[in-house]
Amino acid sequence: MLFNSFPFLFIFLPIALLGYQIAGRLHRRGVVVWLGIASLAFYAYWHPTFLIILGISILLNYLIACLIVRRIPNSIGTHIWLALAICANLGALCYFKYLFPFLIFVTSFTHTNHDWGRVLLPLGISFFTFTQIAYLVDLQQNAAELQDFSSYMLFVTFFPHLIAGPILHHKSIMPQFAEGRDYRLNADDVAVGFSWFIMGLFKKVMLADNFISAVDPAFAAPGGVSRLAGLIAILSYALQLYFDFSGYSDMALGLARMFSIQFPLNFASPYKASNIIDFWNRWHMTLTQYITSYVFTPVQKLIREHRQKQGLAVNRKALNTVSGFANMIAIPTLFTMGIAGIWHGAGSRFIIYGLLHGGYITSAHAWRITRTKRPNLIPKWIGQQFRHIFSVGLTFFAVIVSQVFFRSSSTGNALLLLRNTFGFHHSQSSTAALSGFPLLSALALLVLGFIIVWLLPNTQQILINFKPSLALAESDAKPAVFTFRWSPTFLWAVMLSAALVISVSHFQDPSTFLYFQF
């Protein structure tokens, strides 16, 4: 079920809120069970068969959790149960997400015509798989407590995050479902949450979806794309992806807030980032935190321990050496971002996407370590502004190059589009990317999009007076060029009502989110 659809907005959501209000008058257990059932119904709407897969995943992982904490007596070491659970989870993920694309890739090199077919990818499998792995890892390390089954099911399936995140951590979510709180609807939370939802809905329907016509033709046929058409397509996709993911994140956090649940922030104006490290602290923030905690840190720890056994230094001074930097920064960073690329999808283009960002981050760390202070030859204020604008522009350029691989159907098509756009080759066609889409309209959309991205506050800054998430990003403390804030006034009610009506009027053919099947 899509958030930007009639069934969700006018049937599912009102029923879920009504059921929550009724259950909240009875007992916490009723609320947990009701939201769990509603979330399973939400998941089953798209493809009921996949509910079986989700159910098996939850049951098996909860069984392993019980074995790890000895609720089910056994003599097998907890690390063995954890290893089996990780293998089972990753095995299921690899089967659905990677096995058949890999077989097709191998077949292409053997020049055979075997048709391997395709397996339909269960919605949100990456998200609910990684959420459960993290819980089991923390449980094995005594950093988490075993929940009752209904609470655990709700933690995994709570519908605002089930399809495309954010990736939840039990420490931030489960205490919010603890005993002692009022489980009835809170008028202030509903107002803030629904306002946030409308802002996200408008981004998705009226901004992200309107870039499709300028994006799809160029990426479908990159061979006939001119520099202008290619540049418009690449920039349009950057904004489509931005508003699509930002819109989904706003809707997810807004929906959770309507039930008085605060999610972690997942998106914080990443195109304002002045370096690639800052970018990943703003883009898919919960994924960054996840791979840092469960991939980068363990890998780096193993490398440090190995160096110590060899009698090599692991301190800050060692980072200034080529071998120390390569071992303790470059290798774990490239490995982690390679995993992040593979997480996004099967195929060499996703590996390249991940490794590009791994290279970017490694270069940024190298620059921080090796740069030296130089005397300012121009006034300080002008110099700071120029450096900031240049850094933002350079970071944005690096990001959009990687996004071409993310969006293209193959690595070859990605390279072809980049060559036609930024290389010396020049196609005869001047508007191949804009078939059926006026050039002026494409340029106007781009200008509007970048004004919103770079000059206006993001939604959590607009809602800052009402604690819109568990914790704001550090970058949100700096105000936007133009600043305004939401408040429960008649004017805001009129503007958001208009935004809702306009968005709903475009529900006839709702499009999926770009992170819909990851």
The per-residue pLDDT for range 269-289, each reduced to its tens digit, is 999 999 999 999 999 999 999
Q: Are 202 and 316 in a shared domain?
A: yes
Sign for the CA dihedral angle at 210, 268, 342, 120 comes to negative
Q: Indicate the range of 36-50, 178-192, 285-299, 365-379 predicted with least confidence.
A: 365-379
| 83 pLDDT above the threshold of 80 | yes
pLDDT at 316: 85
Statement to judge: residues 491 and 424 lie in one domain: yes
For 174-193, what is the mean pLDDT?
Answer: 88
| Lowest-pLDDT choice from 41-45, 384-388, 458-462, 495-499 | 384-388
What is the pLDDT at residue 379?
A: 62
Q: Of the segments 151-165, 177-191, 269-283, which one has the largest average pLDDT value?
A: 269-283
Same-domain check for residues 176 and 202 = no
- What is the domain range of residue 103? 1-184
Long-range contacts of 43-46 (CB under 8 A, 24+ apart): 43/123, 43/124, 43/157, 43/159, 43/162, 43/163, 45/1, 45/7, 45/12, 46/1, 46/123
Residues 101 and 249 in one domain: no
Residue 378 identity (one-letter amino acid): I
The conformation of residue 143, written as its DSSP 8-state character, comes to S
Where does a domain end: 156, 184, 212? 184
Mean local confidence (pLDDT), 105-124: 68
C-alpha closest to that of 415 among 283, 225, 232: 225
Residue range 65-85: mean pLDDT, rounded: 93
106 and 154 housed in the same domain:
yes
Per-position b or e across 393-417, b if 16+ CB within 10 A of its CB: eebbebbbbbbbbbbbeebebbbbb
383-391 average pLDDT score:
86
Instruction: With a cut of 60, say whether residue 47 has pLDDT above it.
Output: yes
pLDDT of residue 174: 87
- Residue 494's pLDDT is 97
pLDDT of residue 180: 74
**Residues 136 and 216 reside in one and the same domain:** no
pLDDT of residue 118: 63
Give yes or no for residue 437 having a pLDDT over 70.
no
| Nearest in space to 398 (alpha carbons), one of 271, 222, 244 | 271
The whole-chain average pLDDT of the chain stands at 89
Domain end (from 184, 200, 231): 184
Q: In this structure, what are the phi and psi dihedrals at residue 280, rounded to the nearest 5 degrees?
A: -75, -10
99-108, 343-352, 390-399, range with the lowest pLDDT: 99-108
Does one domain contain both 103 and 173?
A: yes
Can you give the pLDDT at residue 432?
46
pLDDT greater than 90 at residue 35: yes
Query: Which of 184, 217, 242 marks a domain boundary?
Result: 184
Could you tell me if 417 and 269 lie in one domain? Answer: yes
Look at residue 108 in the predicted model and tell me its pLDDT. Answer: 64
Same domain, 124 and 225: no
pLDDT category at 430 given cuts 50, 70, 90 is very low
253 and 385: one domain? yes
Residue closest to 216 by CA, chosen among 409, 24, 469, 84: 409
- Residues 178, 196 share a domain: no
Residues 6+ apart with CB under 8 A from 409: 219, 220
Region 133-156 average pLDDT: 92
Of all residues in the chain, the percent with pLDDT exceeding 70 is 91
Non-local (6+) Cβ contacts of 331 within 8 A are 299, 303
Domain total for the chain?
Answer: 2
Q: Nearest 5°: CA angle at 407, between 362 and 227?
A: 90
The verdict on 320 and 435 lying in the same domain is yes
Encoded tokens for 423:
């290389």
Per-residue pLDDT, 435: 53
